[in-house]
Structure 1
Amino acid sequence: MSAYETLLNKIKSKDAVIGVVGLGYVGLPLAVEKAKAGYKVIGFDVQASRVEQVNSGINYIGDVVNEDLAEMVKSGHIEATTDYARIKDVDAVAICVPTPLDIHQQPDTSYVESSSKEIAKHANEGILVVLESTTYPGTTEEIVKVALEDRGFVTGETVFVAYSPERVDPGNKQFKTKNTPKVVGGITENCTEVAATLYRNVLEGDVFEVSSPAIAEMEKIFENTFRHINIALANEMAILCEKMGIDVWEVIDAAKTKPYGFMAFYPGPGLGGHCIPIDPFYLTWKAREYNYHTRLIELSGEINNSMPEYVINRVMSILNEDGKALRGAKVTVLGVAYKKDIEDVRESPVLKIIELLEQQGADYTVVDPYVKSFRSSGNTIEPVELTKEVLSQSDLVLLTTDHSNFDYNLIAEESPVIFDTRNAMKDIKKVNKYVKL
């Protein structure tokens, strides 16, 4: 029996042992779903603290149900390790490591490279390796495939390589890892089939097969670039509408009544998270290799990246109307997470807003029920509780993250001035001085 047939049979019978490299926002939910589907899962992470938490059944990712992780660990379906030599024990492995930008806004694939080399070093013949990290088209073949073939494996015969982009949306109440459709592109037909079979055995969402890893890599960046550009358009409309004295939120509500040809995107204080602010720049970097300049993407980046400065300028203007300067003003910032109802502050535009408040000499306080602490200008900041006193003693309340559990009636009643960058208080009738983005 060939390596392909052996692996396919193991996957179908759920006798395959599955590895997940990287136990963060993507990897841990995926590991839990694979374990719940009946597979034995080994998680790999360089952070010993994460490994220790997983092995103790302690969850640290919002999209994972605490009881699910605890149960899978207790039943022996999940274990975690920092020892990459354990790759020898797995039949398939998903790479879910970070792919950040470096200081020059260029892709940093070092985590993918090191993971691929470790996997190749310890892998047995017949292993399936799937890259899930968002990256530029060509990464799977240029890094993962090369690392394995340098070891002597033959892709599609003695090793199987595919790309299947993660589609994690932290805080999404409807779509989770389990029910979100999956795209899979293998280097050969055999690679695609074994990877797609594994995902179909684990997930409820449809599995869509494409002809190559590059197609899957490009479609993922296209998804995020689509959002990046449309959010930039919404932000530019917000700036123009403010100058014209028009409510941009009402404009969008009116536009979305059209049942075709329009999709609503909303302005805000800037982009956050690991994906939308970063992924399009993977494409702009790769495009230079083909002597092409992605003007629209880069312009969108300029608009979105400028929103924290725009917010601060509006704060200054609002305070000036009351005869106050930003320097020395008491500003309460509501929300530091990059989106509602999550604890994630990665790339949050609010971090830049706070940095600008510090530079301008504002006396600021941060409220966020989801975030225990965060770093700003080298200091650790711990958000405070939302209280009547915090709000009433403010010169301005800056609403930057529209958490569902904020008491918006209390905010409306006790805040002397509110600048709402999320339109979170649109349904609150009685407000003192209220300004929207």
Structure 2
Amino acid sequence: MPADLAVIGLRHHGLPLAQAAALAAVDTLGFDPDPRTVSELAAGRPPVEGSLSAAEIRRMLGAGFRATGDPAELGRVRTAVICTPTPLGADHTLDLTALHEAARTLAARLRPHTTVVLESTAYPGTTEGLLRSVLEEGSGLRAGRDFHLACSPGRHDPGSRTHDYAHIPKVIGGLTPACTEAAAAFYGRICEKVVRARGPREAEAVKVLETNYRHVNIALVNEMSWYCHDLDIDLWDVIRCAETKPFGFQAFRPGPGVGGHGVAIDPNYLPYSSRSLGYPLRMVELAQEVNGRMPRYVTQRCAQLLNEHGKSVRGARVLLLGVTYKPDLGDLEGAPAHEIGSRLMELGAHLSFHDPYVAQWRVHGHPVPRADALYEAAAAADLTVLLQTHRTYDLQGLAVKAQLMLDSRGASPTGAAQRL
């Protein structure tokens, strides 16, 4: 049967859109080529960690949402939104393979007057370059004349209780003014505010700016953490005072590394286009370099603390608290805990971990023992390292129990633990 919307790609970017649309009474179909993803959703279970909860999935199903792996159903929708993952590849460029395959699948079934929107993270030029060419070649239709084509970069804050899909303004840039208005009409049904960009490249560049803004500012404060530690300055007090400035400053805080799905993007690396500036974005490169050093720095601080207390890393019992990339989520994507654990193991430490959202965790292919009795494990460990600030952690109580504690997030009460 026809549907108002097809969400193509049912993972971290696609599921929030499908949820918002279904709960706004938009007849929503979810398409994913992975049979396991489809079967898990049909059974009311989240297909990936850190996405929606089982209760949220069941509510979507109750609102009429259905998932399918049958491409034929894409030929009976009014709007198709591509939300496939575009992770960084080994060469540090965005891997557009899944996006390309989704476009090919949709193109073979594309009907006139359909609105196609790209939400996946992509380089500026992807919508009117790669995506447009694949859709036109596979369908025989022309974008801007026979079907509408636009970009609306994903803006999702996983696990947030305040920033849900409907309340985050949607930026939209269409190939033509009519394309923009067609996409705006759709998003206006599920979002409170729609922001019209000049075109798809501007909309794609919004994602580049927003993501790189986060990475560059985290890198700055991570460098400040090294600087302040070497000069015996309390960085956390510095930040507390600085954020009282009512203009020109936004507080960012250091941490053990930057994880998650919002990767830093250098738009000059365009594997499908010859139009490049010929030089990298230096700020982005430097931010990646600085943030990439944080797991090594945390490991060095662990060794330093143990040494100051007459212990060696080799043979030390080290408990890692929180191994996910974000608080109160079970998503391990890009979490710095893996590299920190790996480095500590290479130095000879005996690792254990605790995370209320992770039942099993492996480093170098080996399972790391999970501490079920948290306070007893902290008391037994030579060093406890807080990597993620899940709400269930009583940091004051843990600091009292732990022999030695390193807080990489600055979340524990002042004086309760060593801070990064």
TM norm. shorter chain > 0.5:
yes
Residue 66 (structure 2) aligns with: 79
Instruction: Supply the AA of the counterpart residue of 2:419.
Output: K
Task: Determine if the alignment matches structure 1 residue 220 to structure 2 residue 223.
Answer: no
Q: How does 1:185-204 map to 2 (within 5 A)?
A: 185-204=173-192
Residue 172 (structure 2) aligns with: 184
Q: How does 1:154-303 map to 2 (within 5 A)?
A: 154-204=142-192, 206-275=193-262, 278-281=263-266, 283-286=267-270, 289-303=276-290
C-alpha change, 1:22 and 1:381, in structure 2 (3 Å) is farther
SS of residue in 2 equivalent to 1:306: helix
Residue 9 (structure 1) aligns with: none
Whole-Å separation in 1 of the counterparts to 2:413 and 2:151: 42
Residue 435 (structure 1) aligns with: 418
C-alpha change, 1:64 and 1:102, in structure 2 (3 Å) is closer
Aligned residue pairs: how many?
414
Task: Measure how far apart 1:410 and its partner are.
Answer: 2.8
**Residues 322-364 of structure 1 deviation map (CA, whole Å, 9 limit, x = unaligned):** 1111111000000101121111110111111011111111101
Instruction: Supply the AA of the counterpart residue of 1:140.
Output: T
Contact preservation (8 Å) 2:113, 2:148: yes
Residue 380 (structure 2) aligns with: 393
SS of residue in 2 equivalent to 1:178: helix
Contact preservation (8 Å) 1:186, 1:212: yes
Task: Measure how far apart 1:292 and its partner are.
Answer: 2.2
Contact preservation (8 Å) 1:134, 1:220: yes
Contact preservation (8 Å) 1:371, 1:383: no
Contact preservation (8 Å) 1:252, 1:264: yes
Whole-Å separation in 1 of the counterparts to 2:294 and 2:34: 34
C-alpha change, 1:356 and 1:145, in structure 2 (3 Å) is same
Task: Measure how far apart 1:199 and its partner are.
Answer: 0.5
Residue 6 (structure 1) aligns with: none
Residue 422 (structure 1) aligns with: 409
Contact preservation (8 Å) 2:197, 2:203: yes
Task: Determine if the alignment matches structure 1 residue 413 to structure 2 residue 397.
Answer: no
Unmatched segments (≥5 aa) in structure 1: 1-14
Whole-Å separation in 1 of the counterparts to 2:203 and 2:373: 44
Whole-Å separation in 2 of the counterparts to 1:128 and 1:153: 12
Q: How does 1:43-122 map to 2 (within 5 A)?
A: 43-59=30-46, 64=52, 66-75=54-63, 77-122=64-109
SS of residue in 2 equivalent to 1:112: helix
Instruction: Supply the AA of the counterpart residue of 1:55.
Output: A
Residue 372 (structure 1) aligns with: 359
C-alpha change, 1:178 and 1:373, in structure 2 (3 Å) is farther
Contact preservation (8 Å) 2:352, 2:368: no
**Residues 121-150 of structure 1 deviation map (CA, whole Å, 9 limit, x = unaligned):** 112222111110111101111121111211
SS of residue in 1 equivalent to 2:165: coil
SS of residue in 2 equivalent to 1:261: coil
Task: Measure how far apart 1:16 and its partner are.
Answer: 5.3
Instruction: Supply the AA of the counterpart residue of 1:160.
Output: H
Task: Measure how far apart 1:22 and its partner are.
Answer: 0.9
SS of residue in 1 equivalent to 2:320: strand
**Residues 300-319 of structure 1 deviation map (CA, whole Å, 9 limit, x = unaligned):** 11110000000011111100
Task: Measure how far apart 1:186 and its partner are.
Answer: 0.6
Task: Measure how far apart 1:39 and its partner are.
Answer: 1.6
Residue 305 (structure 1) aligns with: 292
290-299 or 358-367: bigger deviation: 290-299
Q: How does 1:25-40 map to 2 (within 5 A)?
A: 25-40=12-27
**Residues 191-215 of structure 1 deviation map (CA, whole Å, 9 limit, x = unaligned):** 11010110011122x1100111100
Contact preservation (8 Å) 1:135, 1:279: no
Whole-Å separation in 2 of the counterparts to 1:116 and 1:352: 35
Residue 10 (structure 1) aligns with: none
Contact preservation (8 Å) 1:63, 1:176: no
Task: Determine if the alignment matches structure 1 residue 146 to structure 2 residue 133.
Answer: yes
Instruction: Supply the AA of the counterpart residue of 2:289.
Output: E
Whole-Å separation in 2 of the counterparts to 1:416 and 1:124: 66
Contact preservation (8 Å) 1:367, 1:386: no
**Residues 152-207 of structure 1 deviation map (CA, whole Å, 9 limit, x = unaligned):** 11112211111001111112221011211110001011111010110011122x11
TM norm structure 2: 0.94
Task: Measure how far apart 1:426 and its partner are.
Answer: 2.2
Whole-Å separation in 2 of the counterparts to 1:386 and 1:350: 20
Unmatched segments (≥5 aa) in structure 2: none
SS of residue in 2 equivalent to 1:20: strand
Residue 306 (structure 2) aligns with: 319
TM norm structure 1: 0.91
Q: RMSD value over aligned CA atoms?
A: 1.8
Contact preservation (8 Å) 1:56, 1:73: no
Task: Measure how far apart 1:91 and its partner are.
Answer: 1.3
Instruction: Supply the AA of the counterpart residue of 1:280.
Output: I
**Residues 378-417 of structure 1 deviation map (CA, whole Å, 9 limit, x = unaligned):** 2344643252221111000001101111122331221010
SS of residue in 2 equivalent to 1:419: strand
Identical residues among aligned pairs (%): 37
